[in-house]
Amino acid sequence: MAAGSIQPHQAEILASAILSTPQWELFSISDNVIGTKGVQVILDAQKLSTVHILALSNTGMTSEILDFLISYLNEKKVSMLNISNNNLSCDEATQLRLAQAICAPGLLSLNIAETHIKFTENFVKLIRTNKIRLSFLDISGNEVESDAILALSDYLVDPSCVLNSLILKNCNISKRALSKLFGKLKTNTSLTYLNVLGNTAQKLDQKIIESIKGNRITRLD
């Protein structure tokens, strides 16, 4: 759906049309600010449909949708998910349930940038435990635990890691955590794009920058 083409009062009309479509390769209502109720009405109409790629960026969702969204994701097992630019701040227990629903086998791409979701060590553990073949991860603008970055660093050298793009803008990552991340890149063979802009410790020693030369990274911000 084109950005801004759906008004909140039109959500139920769109939901009726969705009921007649059994399968969606890509379903996007991004940049249509229809709010929690509007998103829920539309997704509820999709319960009998197959969805591979789901984009809900900047739709005005709030944490009130999380119980519904968790249930939806547990049923759908989408391969590409974008819920960025929505305020989904919630308690730790709900965040864990959301992480469990998101990190399902089959997930290939995840964008949770600017969602006020804390990226924790549990996220990384779920990615590894469920053997997810994740190729794209954007957690920009969220609170990120140092332990999560350390765990992510270890994941980068796991033979099962196929992460291609990693975006960590404005996450206030410590120099220690970034140093470990960069150090692990020496033996990573999958990552081609890394973005650490906006972190207070992003200007690292030249030694650390030199340490990743020669691997597959073609772009570093």
Q: What is the mean pLDDT of residues 70-99?
A: 93
pLDDT-derived band at 153 (thresholds 50, 70, 90) equals very high
Residue 171: per-residue pLDDT: 92
**pLDDT above 60 for 19:** no
Look at the domain 1-117 and name its fold. 3.80.10
Q: What percent of the chain has pLDDT over 70?
A: 79
Q: What is the CA radius of gyration of the chain?
A: 18
Top pLDDT among 7 and 72 is at 72
pLDDT-derived band at 2 (thresholds 50, 70, 90) equals very low
Residue ranges of the chain assigned to CATH 3.80.10.10: 1-117, 143-221
Tokens of 199: 């972190």
- Cα–Cα distance between 18 and 44 in angstroms, integer? 10
Q: What is the mean pLDDT of residues 146-171?
A: 93
Residue 208: per-residue pLDDT: 59
pLDDT in tens, 93-107: 999 999 999 998 899
pLDDT in tens, 109-145: 999 999 999 999 999 999 998 889 999 999 999 999 9
The residue among 70, 90, 140 whose CA lies nearest residue 110 is: 140
pLDDT-derived band at 55 (thresholds 50, 70, 90) equals very high
Tokens of 18: 């969705």
Q: Does the global pTM surpass 0.75?
A: yes
Top pLDDT among 3 and 218 is at 218
Sequence-ordered list of residues with C-beta below 8 angstroms from that of 5, at least 6 positions apart, any chain: 32
CATH number for 143-221: choose from 3.20.20.70, 3.80.10.10, 3.30.1490.100, 3.10.150.10.
3.80.10.10
